[in-house]
Amino acid sequence: MSKPIIIGIAGGSASGKTSISRRIKTTFANEKSVLIIRQDDYYKDQSDKPMEERIKTNYDHPFAFDNDLLISHIQQLINGETIEKPTYDFVHHTRSDVTETCFPCDVLILEGLFVLEDEKIRNILDIKVFVDTPADIRFIRRLLRDVKERGRSMESVISQYVNTVRVMHESFVEPSRRYADVIIPEGGENMVAIDLLTTKISSIIHRTML
């Protein structure tokens, strides 16, 4: 298997990164193997800390992620090796005991807040995408997601957004858009932009096959 095409999709929390990743995967599902890796699964393990300390972690700062492990795993996939990807337990605020077996692929999609913020990750990417969605829409989506899927209270979500999410977005996420090859407004609802992106991916696939 040749080197996979690696696409990095960054953007604010709940901006639509996952929706775009899934649309790309669906587009190429019949002709190429597509693997989606979420940077969220590479939050640092906190099993050695009591719960009251885990809760205090700033999950919206780049230091919260184990990017060394993430980069190592991407390199293994590039080399045609299988990895055991970690998963994160957002209820207990630490890495889960469950891992996911990921096999080498043709197209690797890496999505996460800081995919474009880290130079070492940027250097691996063939296409760099930034999803640009208005802050109010992102906040509503995050509130609904964290309450329904991550067992959070509405009060804790609002407090986290006001005290850390918004500040970290302005400090780290938003500035990383300058590294993007493609900026997609409105996330997964922007079908024109997604079609253009998939066309570009297709052209790279066909070029590598020549």
Render pLDDT for 155-170 as a digit per residue (tens, 0 to 9): 988 988 998 999 999 9
| 36 or 30, which is more confident | 36
Instruction: Find how far residue 63's CA is from the centre of its chain.
Output: 15
What's the rounded mean pLDDT across residues 104-121? 96
pLDDT at 185 over 60: yes
Contacts 24+ apart (CB under 8 A), 45-53: 45/86, 45/94, 45/95, 46/93, 46/94, 46/95, 47/94, 47/95, 49/94, 51/92, 51/93
Domains of the chain: 5-205 (3.40.50.300)
The confidence band for 90, taking pLDDT boundaries of 50, 70 and 90, is confident
pLDDT at 209 over 70: no
| 21 or 188, which is more confident | 21
The answer to whether 12 and 173 are in contact (CB under 8 A) is yes
In 93-152, alpha helices (H): 119-122, 135-149
Q: CA-based diameter of the chain, in Å?
A: 56
pLDDT at 154 over 60: yes
What's the rounded mean pLDDT across residues 92-115? 94
The confidence band for 1, taking pLDDT boundaries of 50, 70 and 90, is low
pTM, entire model: 0.90
- Look over the chain and give the mean of its residue pLDDT values, rounded to a whole number: 91
What's the rounded mean pLDDT across residues 26-48? 92
The answer to whether 60 and 168 are in contact (CB under 8 A) is yes
> If 0-12 CB within 10 Å is exposed, 13-18 middle and 19+ buried, where does residue 123 land?
exposed
pLDDT at residue 208, as a whole number: 64
